[in-house]
Structure 1
Amino acid sequence: MTSAAARARRETIVALAQESGLAGVDELSTRFVVSPSTIRRDLARLTADGRLARTYGGAMAPPEAPLHRRTAQAPEAKRAIAALAATHVAPGATVLLDAGSTVAALARALHGGRDDLTVVTPSLSAVLELGGAEGVHVTCLGGHYRPLSHAFVGPLTEAALERMTFDAAFLGTDGVSPELGICEAGAEQIRLKELMARRSRRVYVLADAAKLGRAPFHAWAPWQPGWTLVTDATADPDQVSALRTRGVEVLLAEPVVN
């Protein structure tokens, strides 16, 4: 039977992994004053339960959550961010929509009142949202399909992007750091985001306040001059200040009033 102390220790390990992105066995052993073998058993149990993904000598944060689970997180904040981001989509523009639940919320916000808008996206969620929208022309970028994000990545996606330019790109992210930039689960996704940004005149990063200061993974796209972060009004003022000090324009979305 698992003791209360062991359960509490494992919950703390998960929280630490989510905050820092990596917790080493030796570090955890020292922190909890238990043997390395005890920590390894904890990690094995948490991995078997699907709460952590193991790496050699340590533990990463939980594996990338599927899109349907992310969609259920902070829906009001995402709706507010989407509404604000939509005001930066001009009539007749050609825009690029990234994958992700917040960008999918933007796709929903682009329904109605649009005049000759062109949307290019690797996201099936965005395609389904806008496929029948009046006044919106949709182009889907193909490639390798990622079921977790319901989107395409890889060389074919990148090759198509190299032949296009955009008035604006709207990027999703799993974490935001004033120092490091925007975070994703893997280098392939980060490479695609950087290409999206290079092909676009304006770049908007959409992220709810809970993602500010988070580093759940280890692939990063550094901030570039002219990028804008759109987050919600509950964002930590210290995080916002640090981002603005780095030259990032930060827009704060107020709750949407029905």
Structure 2
Amino acid sequence: MDRLRSGPRRDRIVEMASSNGLTSVEELSATFGVTPSTIRRDLALLTTQGKLARTYGGALSLEPHPEASLRQRLGQAHAAKRAIAAWAASQIVPGESVLLDGGSTTAALAQALTGLRHLSVSTIGLPALEVLVEAEPEDLEIVLLGGRLRPMSQSFVGPVTEQALERMTFDRAFMGADGVRADRGINEKDLEQTRLKELMMGRADHVYVLADASKIGQAPFHAWAVMPARWTLVTDSGVDPAALEPFRAKGIEVEVAPDLPVTD
């Protein structure tokens, strides 16, 4: 790599530490064509600025897996989420009470529900709420479970949300996830989110986790929601079949949503 000026070089160091975790001084020195002492000065400055946490001989990103905003996620895996949402909507029976988690995939499901009738839909997510309200449904009861708004995910969390849940039950709950593993459950950024997910799943007769292929087997964070005894994983056709075997081995029902026709 050509030598970079100090500013761009330090920006690149932060990017590398974020994607690869621990990075040695020697590796950085060789990568950028500068002396180890120059790299050590870079690391010292970045640590002072709060962009890195120093370790012996290298640098460790303070945020190795930055949380994507909802706006970012809405633009990712669009076709896969539409397919998952279409399959999920097909499971709902008129007259049922449905609970939607926050997130981009459940927002896609909300869009798929706008043509259904005689349905009660509760949600913690603003995107799902906006879709349902804009559709002006005639026979669709909409319930927003309020609380403290979490800006990154545009969903409500906290004790007010939890208290509302205690007074309700649902036929089906559709959950989102930052990652999902057969041995640990749903992975999210923080414990407040995972506690709420456990409460939501505990109030429903049927639980579905809607996760596109990129989230299967992944664990970007360290907070987990413990799953109920029975639940269904719903993913898209882009998933590696081998990644689904741990789920099937534990007796978890797995559904691969068929692709939808491409629309203009």
TM-score (norm 1): 0.83
* 1:145 matches 2:149: yes
Aligned residue in 1 for 2:105 = 102
* 1:1-150 mapped onto 2 (5 Å cutoff): 1-2=5-6, 11-16=15-20, 23=21, 27-29=22-24, 32=27, 37=40, 40=43, 44=47, 48=51, 58-59=60-61, 60-112=63-115, 114-131=116-133, 132-150=136-154
Aligned residue in 2 for 1:175 = 179
Deviation at 1:3, TM superposition (A): 10
SS at 2:85's partner residue? Answer: helix
Residues 142 and 7 (structure 1 numbering): CA distance in 2 closer, same or farther, change over 3 Å?
closer
Deviation at 1:78, TM superposition (A): 0.6
CA contact (8 A) 1:9 1:32 kept: no
Deviations 1:136-161 (A, max 9, x none): 11011111111111111100000000
Residues 31 and 199 (structure 1 numbering): CA distance in 2 closer, same or farther, change over 3 Å?
farther
Deviation at 1:237, TM superposition (A): 1.4
Flag the structure with larger Rg.
2
SS at 1:183's partner residue? Answer: strand
Structure scoring higher RCO (CA < 8 A, sep ≥ 6) equals 1
Unaligned stretches of 5+ residues in structure 2? 30-35
CA contact (8 A) 1:29 1:39 kept: no
2:93 partner amino acid: A
Deviation at 1:118, TM superposition (A): 0.1
CA contact (8 A) 1:10 1:46 kept: no
* 1:188 matches 2:192: yes
Deviation at 1:101, TM superposition (A): 0.3
SS at 2:121's partner residue? Answer: strand
Distance 2:259 2:213 in 1: 13
Distance 1:206 1:47 in 2: 35
Distance 2:177 2:54 in 1: 26
Distance 1:46 1:202 in 2: 48
Deviation at 1:66, TM superposition (A): 1.5
- Misfit runs of 4+, over 6 Å: 3-9, 33-36
Residues 159 and 3 (structure 1 numbering): CA distance in 2 closer, same or farther, change over 3 Å?
closer
Distance 1:177 1:38 in 2: 40
Aligned residue in 2 for 1:203 = 207
Deviations 1:167-186 (A, max 9, x none): 01000010112222111111
Deviation at 1:43, TM superposition (A): 6.4
Distance 2:179 2:44 in 1: 29
CA contact (8 A) 1:61 1:217 kept: no
SS at 1:14's partner residue? Answer: helix
Percent identity, aligned pairs only, is 45
CA contact (8 A) 1:208 1:232 kept: yes
1:156 partner amino acid: V
Distance 2:48 2:255 in 1: 42
Distance 2:120 2:240 in 1: 34
Distance 1:223 1:253 in 2: 21
1:178 partner amino acid: A
TM-score (norm 2): 0.82
